[in-house]
Amino acid sequence: MNKKYAICYNKEIDNSTIVKERLFAILNRKEISVDIVDIDNLKTGYDFVFVIGGDGTILKTARFYARTQTPVFGINLGRLGFLSQTSKENIEKSVDKILNNEFYTENRIMLESSGYIALNDIVIKGALAGRTSSFSLKINDKPLCDYLADGIIIATPTGSTAYGLSAGGPVVSPHLNAFVIVPICPHTLTARPLVIPDNEKITICGTDPDSKYLFSADGQEFSEFENSIEIKKSAYSAKLALLDDSEFYSILKNKLHWGISPACIENSNYTK
């Protein structure tokens, strides 16, 4: 049975339409039938989805297709592109590998709360910008910590290189079944990031009865709550299509310049 392919693109990103047309032409030249899908009008029924855009576009697409376990393959047009697997310059080479089955897929664990799912992270903050908020953290219904902070990040291993890393959290291999809890600018030096197994239930309570709190999933879907919110591992997992040369530690080195001195990064002779 022939596979059904789709190209998902974000028309708001520069050059996305041009790259979409180029990818469409490459696949047609190889006699591969493919549909064009806009990021704001995603639909199911495909066996493999190419995604053109930055990490935000890939996150939204991966969440949608996690429910059907459809592999998504990112083509980076953004700044960092940590979730993407190829650049616009290497599209045809990557397409050849995919059509020759020279790729593999990874199931990435996701978070779930209040009907939302997240591949990167769930972030809790106070509704009033510019003010710290009071939070209480419970693990498996057992009180653990009270925070006075700008917010709390609950990150997956995939999301550990995103907001959580910027807030001082650790980088976690995507092969680990764990979540990271990172307070944002806490008002105590003892409030450190915490790594927990992914089968534990996280409850965050707002301890100020007169305050409201904001919830965001991957920084793209938002909601508000007043008392408490539960976060746990989602029943769905994102399915990322990866090339053989996109192993996690290589990406960590090449895209985040891990362990490389600033002098080497600035040196034009430095090669990855």
Nearest to 10 by CA among 46, 44, 43, 36: 36
Q: Which positions are annotated as active-site residues?
A: 55
Give the Cα separation of 175 and 158 in Å (integer): 9
Give the Cα separation of 41 and 8 in Å (integer): 9
Close Cβ partners of 201 (under 8 Å, ≥ 6 residues apart): 139, 140, 141, 230, 231, 232
β-pair partners for 126 = 213
Q: Is 69 left (phi over 0), alpha (psi -120 to 50) or beta?
A: left
Please identify which residue in the block is written with the tokens 């953290």: 137
